[in-house]
Structure 1
Amino acid sequence: MRMISKLVIVFLMVSLFIVNIPQKVDASLGVSAASAVLIEQQSGRVLFEKDAHTKRRIASITKIMTAILAIESGKMNQKVKVSEKATRAEGSSVYLKPGEKIKLNDLVYGLMLRSGNDTAVAIAEYVGGSVDGFAFLMNQKAKEIGMYNTHFANPHGLDDHEDHYSTAYDMAILMRYAMKDKTFQKISGTKEYHAPNPTENWDREWKNKNRLLTKYKYCTGGKTGFTKRAKRTLVTTATKGDMSLIAVTLNGPDDWNDHISMYENGFKGFDMIEVVSKGKVDIGKNNDYENHLYVKEPILYPATSDETDLFSVKFKLSKPDKKWLSSKKNETIVGKAAVYLDGRVVEETPIYYENEPEKKKGFFHFFKEIFLAVIGVNANG
């Protein structure tokens, strides 16, 4: 069992390392932004980049981190009492009122759709105890998910701190992480939302500032940003067929068109290749493994037409162990399948060992047991 535990730990460490290696493909594409990146969401592969690792101010795309931390707090249905400090936040606002109580869920919608700085402060104070406490949580999460060139100093992205910055690539990592959450997906892609207004007889009506949701038919969500120092910043997502992409631009004067151009280039130039299929794996090296090995999920990887013949797969297995060969546990990790593209590892997935499953009893057998029980006869005679 120790060997298996070590194998699992090593696999997870290697997988996390691979996920954060940008597998870049050079592409000739002009964008107006000072920094830009396009990645495929499932694999994390970089399909296009321009100065993607330079630290820059990021403005309100900061709120992607604020939103996911609020969602992960597990308090979305709880009510938040809005402080006077929150209502005094500068810049864009949803005009919260001091002392009003509003659900955290509604605050996150106001944060993502209308970029409310008042909602950002209200969320920070509620989830983190204070703005500074929340900034600590933001930086903690940034390190956890691999944003190594990022530092957050506030929950909204205003230019009130010098040490508030990120990179195009780090923001793509953040969006990739956030888009794994279904609640975030829903909020990010919502075009219009109605929230209660406690002192009025009409609801607040918030329309999403992300114009790409209506301008580009494949867009599924995103977050806008702007300050005088950061200029225009934008993070968006788009899905076409089985491919989902994430685009980021920092200081992009023509960001809407930048994102459309990057998406069109990505969708046209790459296809999702199923390199490893879900289900049984036939390696044929050991009788103990025959008909017992499988992978839970297929490995899909974006590739150009010139790359489709450059894939190879290597299976790495631990030596058979009598303990788990005879175990009734059906999900024992015994190795991994490593996908190589042109000789370089780009993706891995665990290989599971499954014992012969116990045959399920059919309806007739079940009915027979009930019948025999009723007349007082044991099913086994």
Structure 2
Amino acid sequence: MGLSVQPNTATAAATPLNQAPTNPHQLVIIPNDTDHPPPPVLATAAYLMDMDTGATLYAYNPFMHLPMLSTTKLMTALLAVEHGNLNQQVTITSALDRDIQQHISPDSSLFGLKKGETYTLRDLLYGLLLPSGNDAAVAIADAVGGSYQHFVDMMNQRARELGMYDTHYMNPSGLLATGHYSSAHDLAVLGRYTMSNPILHQIANTRIYHIPKTAQHAEHYLVNGNQFLWWYPGADGGKPGWDGNTDFVQVVSCTRNNRHLIGVTMNTKDWWTDMRDLMNWGFDDFQWTSPYDVDLQHPIPYDYDWGYFVRDKKTNTLPTANHGRYYIYTGYSVSPPILNFFDKNGGLDKFGFPIGMPNYSQGNLVSQRFQKATIQCDLAGKQCKRL
């Protein structure tokens, strides 16, 4: 894939926001945290980018073409603010209503547009990004592009201008369609660009938005479906997408400790673990935060769709490529032969969680610190002991 890893001391020149790279498939990965291993993910593809510099911090299958679902709406919103007037009036005419009915599916998430109503483009943007209204996406496409198809053409042209060469749009909403796809890298580029726009960043960071009833339209109480906003420290924007099964896609903006990161996961069934692991690693901050704990104090919207996050426990692990185990609580992995000794001699109860990476020394010795003890193994004799 043309990936190369540089030491953390490397510096990355800031990439201009609106400048496409010379070779988009050549990445230099500059991890911010070298005291912890990069986390494995359950997602098919994942990406972590420094918002300020454009530097790639993490990449896993970054150019793989996958359904992008409702993260599509970030591009729809971008074109709306670039080509539209937020105060312009959009009326749901009979023709537009027919267009909406033609281009949404029976299970679509909706803003709730009705024929004869009139909204501002700003209202439509809130209806697009918070409840992920597919009807709002079609209305914006017609209003801003002049026609549905012309707007889709504008989306593809803007993608090329931004260097999103592994993205192709067939609609403004994200409905599954042949030829409608993106990649983790491209969604990070789009996330960086859209979240640098003050208007879009503000809308995407709004948890609840009230549109009062007027003579022109009904009242709306909009709740942001980006659940990461409701529980993870510093989360301040982005857009999720979900097809109602196990395929979850998300673009997340997060600001902490004077750093701004953009994270992407595609095709995952455990979005909170994947994105939390990436963000914790990117910020080098592994203080435990769980949607399960937060949900008990302040309910997270749509928590019931995910079983109220009861699966999220400090003891959860992810498999690693070298037959090891990644502990999400402390952000460290344990691998054979240390893992074998760990499991046979009491595991977490006796040793606690890993609190350091393996340390290799002369004489074929490897050791790793845990909360309650250190395990040392002789790689030649395959003998291990507790220190």
TM-score, normalization: structure 2?
0.62
Q: Deviations over 1:36-89 (max 9, x none)?
A: 101101111111111111001111000000011101114111110122135422
The structure 2 residue matched to 1:32, chosen from 42, 61, 78, is 42
Question: Structure 2 counterpart of 1:154, which letter?
Answer: N
Question: Structure 1 counterpart of 2:196, which letter?
Answer: K
Determine helix, strand or coil for the equivalent of 2:156.
Answer: helix
Separation in 1 of the partners of 2:18 and 2:134?
39
Residues matched between the structures, number: 259
Separation in 2 of the partners of 1:18 and 1:178?
21
Offset, 1:237: 0.5
2:208 equivalent in structure 1: 192
Determine helix, strand or coil for the equivalent of 1:114.
Answer: coil
Separation in 1 of the partners of 2:233 and 2:114?
36
CA contact (8 A) 2:117 2:217 kept: no
Determine helix, strand or coil for the equivalent of 2:130.
Answer: helix
Question: Structure 1 counterpart of 2:253, which letter?
Answer: T
Separation in 2 of the partners of 1:206 and 1:86?
23
Q: Deviations over 1:96-135 (max 9, x none)?
A: 1012110000000110000000000000011111211110
Offset, 1:19: 10
Unaligned runs of 5+ in 2: 1-14, 32-36, 286-387
Pairwise mapping of residues 285-296 of structure 1 onto structure 2 (< 5 A)? none
Counterparts in 2 of 1:197 and 1:118: CA distance versus 1, 3 Å: farther
Counterparts in 2 of 1:15 and 1:183: CA distance versus 1, 3 Å: closer
CA contact (8 A) 2:253 2:261 kept: yes
The question of 1:63 aligning with 2:67 is answered: no
Determine helix, strand or coil for the equivalent of 2:39.
Answer: coil
The question of 1:216 aligning with 2:229 is answered: no
Separation in 2 of the partners of 1:97 and 1:12?
41
2:175 equivalent in structure 1: 158
Separation in 2 of the partners of 1:13 and 1:232?
27
Q: Percent identity?
A: 36
Separation in 2 of the partners of 1:118 and 1:92?
8
CA contact (8 A) 1:86 1:119 kept: no
CA contact (8 A) 1:39 1:172 kept: yes
Counterparts in 2 of 1:183 and 1:133: CA distance versus 1, 3 Å: same
Q: Comparing 19-28 with 174-183, which one deviates more in the overlay? A: 19-28
2:98 equivalent in structure 1: 85
Counterparts in 2 of 1:15 and 1:34: CA distance versus 1, 3 Å: closer
2:380 equivalent in structure 1: none
Separation in 1 of the partners of 2:172 and 2:249?
16
Q: Deviations over 1:290-314 (max 9, x none)?
A: xxxxxxxxxxxxxxxxxxxxxxxxx
The question of 1:17 aligning with 2:21 is answered: yes
Offset, 1:259: 0.9
Q: Deviations over 1:126-175 (max 9, x none)?
A: 1111211110000010000100111001000101x301101010010011
Question: Structure 2 counterpart of 1:263, which letter?
Answer: M
Question: Structure 2 counterpart of 1:40, which letter?
Answer: D
CA contact (8 A) 1:235 1:247 kept: yes
Q: Comparing 54-63 with 21-30, which one deviates more in the overlay? A: 21-30
Determine helix, strand or coil for the equivalent of 1:245.
Answer: strand
Question: Structure 2 counterpart of 1:132, which letter?
Answer: Q
Pairwise mapping of residues 164-179 of structure 1 onto structure 2 (< 5 A)? 164-179=180-195
Q: Which runs of 4+ in 1 moved over 6 A?
A: 11-15, 199-202
2:288 equivalent in structure 1: none
Separation in 2 of the partners of 1:200 and 1:86?
20
Offset, 1:198: 4.5
The question of 1:240 aligning with 2:256 is answered: yes
Offset, 1:256: 1.8
| Structure of greater Rg | 1
Separation in 2 of the partners of 1:242 and 1:59?
31
